[in-house]
Amino acid sequence: MNIITKLLTAIRGSAREIGEAVVDTQSLRIFEQEIHESKENLAEAKSGLTEIVAKKMAAERRLDSVKSEISENEGYAVEALGQDNESLALEVAEKIAKLEAKAESQAEELANYEKNVEILKSQIQEAEKIIAEHERELAMVKTRESVQQATKSVTQTVTNNDSAIGSARESLERIKQKQQSEQDRLEAGMELKKELEGDDLDGKLKASGIIKDKHSAESVLARLKKK
Amino acid sequence: MTSIQQLTNQITGFQFKGHTFSCLRIQGEQDVLRVEVSQLEEMPIFITVTDTQILCISYLFRKDEIHTDKENQMNQYLLELNVPMPLSAFAVIEDYYVIFGALSRGSTLESISDELVTLAQNSIDSLQALEEFIK
Query: Which residues sit opposite B54 in a β-bridge?
Result: B49, B103
One domain for residues A63 and A12 = yes
- Domains contained in chain A, number: 2
Check whether residue A17 and residue A53 sit in a common domain.
yes
Contact B42 A171 (CB under 8 A): yes
Q: Taking Cα atoms as reference points, which of B28, B11, B29 lies closest to residue B20?
A: B11
Q: Please give the residue of chain B at the shortest CA–CA distance from A143.
A: B52
State the pLDDT at residue B115. 96
Output B14-18 pairs: Cβ under 8 A, ≥24 positions apart: B14/B109, B14/B113, B16/B110, B16/B113, B16/B114, B16/B116, B16/B117, B17/B117
Predicted confidence at residue A108, as pLDDT, reads 94
pLDDT tens-place string over residues B35-88: 999 999 999 999 999 877 899 999 999 999 999 999 999 999 999 999 888 899
* A172 plus A128 within the same structural domain: no
User: Distance (Å, rounded) from C-alpha A160 to C-alpha A152?
Assistant: 12
Residues of B in contact with A167 (CB under 8 A): 61-62, 65
Fold topology of B4-127: Yope Regulator; Chain: A, (3.30.1460)
* Residues of the domain holding A217: 168-227
For residues A189-197, average pLDDT: 80
Does residue A41 sit in the same domain as residue A151?
yes
Kindly state whether residues A123 and A175 are assigned to the same domain.
Answer: no
> A153: nearest CA in chain B?
B30
CA distance between the termini of chain A? 110
One-letter amino acid at B47 equals I
In a shared domain, residues A220 and A196: yes
Q: Give the pLDDT of residue A34.
A: 81
Most confident of A105-109, A212-216, B12-16: A105-109
Closest CB to B50 among A18, A147, A176: A147
Q: Are residues A196 and A86 in the same domain?
A: no
**Cβ distance of A157 and B32 shorter than 8 Å:** yes
Q: Are residues A52 and A70 in the same domain?
A: yes
Q: How many residues does chain B have?
A: 135
Do B93 and A171 count as a contact with CB atoms less than 8 A apart? no
Give the pLDDT band of residue A163 (cuts 50, 70, 90).
very low
pLDDT in tens, B16-42: 999 999 998 888 778 889 999 999 999
Dist CA A177 CA A180 (whole Å): 5
CATH number, domain containing residue A149: 1.10.287
CB count in 10 Å sphere of residue B108: 12
Band the pLDDT of A102: cuts 50, 70, 90: very high
**Cα angle, residue A218 at apex, residues A216 and A223 outer, rounded to 5°:** 100
Domain check: are A129 and A196 in the same one? no
How far apart are alpha carbons B59 and B94 in whole angstroms?
Answer: 11
> Which is higher by pLDDT, A93 or B95?
A93
Rounded Cα gap, residues A52 and A123, in angstroms: 14
Residues of chain B neighbouring A164 (CB-CB closer than 8 A): 34, 44
Give yes or no: residues A173 and A90 share one domain. no
Shortest alpha-carbon distance between residue A172 and chain B (Å): 7
Instruction: Kindly determine whether residue B26 and residue A157, on different chains, have CB atoms separated by under 8 Å.
Output: yes
With beta carbons under 8 A apart, name residues in chain B contacting A7.
Answer: none
